[in-house]
A and B are shown apart, each in its own frame.
Chain A
Amino acid sequence: MVSSHRYLQLDQVEPGMTLADELLDGQGKVLLPAGAVLTESILARLPSHGIDALPIAVPPAQAEASVDRDAVLARLAHVFRGVDPHDPAQASTRLLRRLVQEYRLEGTTQ
């Protein structure tokens, strides 16, 4: 099961967000499985099922209310300790590090 989620009003839900739990209609029929990625067309249909809020998955990286920026950076430096900052042959490894850093710090104030 998704480790963490929050309820959002339908108008705050954006396409691309992930549903944290099974979504049932009034009769208990499954409309969407847990883990479904919400699209614009899905969201547009929900009001007709009487749904006005959704449990939205919070990615593990953001689960803790405040990501400890320094801890994230220190851990990344440790995991990527073998990477030479100047070797052109390791450019893709450095890029991967930058992407993971961006991912881990997503949503934190810079």
Chain B
Amino acid sequence: MIAIPLERLTASLEDLPSLPAVVMELLNSIDQEDVDIAVLAKKVSHDQALTAKTLRLANSSAFGLQTKVTTIQQAITFLGFQATRNLITAAAITGCFAENTCRGFDHKAFWRHSIATAACARILARHKRLNQDFAFTAGLLHDIGRLVLVSGFPGHYEQVLAHRAQEDCSVLEAERAVLGTDHMAAGAALAGHWNFPETIRLPIALHHEPETKGAGFLSAIVHVADAMVHALDIAGEKDEKAPAVSPVAWAALALNEETCLHVFRETELQFAEISELLLMG
């Protein structure tokens, strides 16, 4: 055990790359309706790479637009503010963490899993008539704590990966055994540091324990989406291992068989497209 005490974990957050200011603003205001959209659209437009990536996403068939959008303002008009905010966040955050600091950690596979979970959570939320945009963002960020650990403690995390391979246990179990902490705690710390709203912080902090009192329905959605994506073997990891599904979360979603098969199909189709757009270049 080479435990990482909480103070060191918190200190490591200071060294993380910061997101573009406008993305922080978007994330922090995710549950507010009274944001000045015109000002935000203008700010985002100053970042050309971010704008281009966002518009490519908005025009992908996953979002079903009938017309091509060419400006952020147009995207907001056709997709709505919440959905556009989502896309901007996704476009910004997937490019934010440095790659290859930790041997054996596959950044591409990490993002493939996160993107697939985002797509699946959004589809599940639609079936449950819940806010699809929160579900997408929560799905995309649910494992962000792993990146905190990988970036801040690459040497430690190499041992986590070695332990996981040797014991054939889950990542969560390996983190707890080697580090005395886990990616849910690290993610919760980051969510606090970056001022994420509670809606997004809860699934990050509790997606492996969705039955916890107060975890919220979005934690259950992200939990099931995570399990489905592992089960569908989407990230392309050789030793993929499906996690146990919480009976409480599964029952809460009350999915019938037909819905599940539909969710699988749609997740795979959307994943193929979104990941190509987000992970290119």
Contacts and interface: CB of A to CB of B under 8 A. Distances in A.
B242 interface: yes
Given A83-B244, A92-B245, A100 B231 contact: yes
A42 interface: no
Interface string B59-83: 0011011110000000000000000
Nearest to A21: B61
A81 B241 contact: yes
B240 A79 contact: yes
Given A79-B233, A82-B241, A59 B269 contact: yes
Given A33-B66, A57-B269, A79-B242, A103 B61 contact: no
A80 B61 contact: no
A102 B261 contact: yes
A17 B62 CA distance: 15
B61 A93 contact: no
A1 to B, nearest CB: 7
Given A59-B265, A60-B272, A75-B233, A93 B242 contact: yes
Given A91-B247, A102-B261, A103-B264, A79 B61 contact: no
A53 interface: no
B241 A79 contact: yes
Contact of A60 (B64, B227, B268): B268
Given A33-B65, A79-B242, A96-B228, A103 B265 contact: yes
Contact of A100 (B244, B251, B264): B264
Contacts of A30: 66-67
Contact of B250 (A59, A92, A102): A92
A61 interface: yes
Contact of B242 (A36, A57, A82, A89): A82
Contact of B261 (A89, A91, A93, A99): A99
Interface in B229-265: 230-233, 240-247, 250-251, 257, 260-261, 264-265
A92 B232 contact: no
| Chain A: interface size category | 20 to 34
Contacts of A57: 269
B261 A79 contact: no
A35 B268 contact: no
A90 interface: yes
Contacts of A43: none
A20 to B, nearest CB: 9
Contact of A93 (B168, B244, B264): B244
Contacts of B242: 79-80, 82-83, 93, 96-97
Nearest to A60: B268
A35 B62 contact: yes
Interface of B: 61-62, 64-67, 168, 170, 227-228, 230-233, 240-247, 250-251, 257, 260-261, 264-265, 268-269, 272-273, 276
27 contacts: A2-B269, A3-B272, A18-B269, A35-B64, A36-B64, A57-B269, A59-B268, A60-B272, A78-B240, A79-B241, A79-B242, A82-B170, A82-B241, A82-B243, A82-B244, A83-B244, A90-B244, A91-B247, A92-B245, A92-B250, A93-B244, A96-B228, A96-B250, A97-B231, A99-B260, A100-B264, A102-B261
Closest 8 CB pairs of A and B: A35-B61, A92-B250, A34-B61, A92-B245, A93-B245, A103-B264, A99-B260, A100-B231
Given A33-B66, A59-B269, 8 more contacts: A35-B269, A60-B272, A79-B233, A82-B242, A97-B231, A99-B264, A100-B231, A103-B265
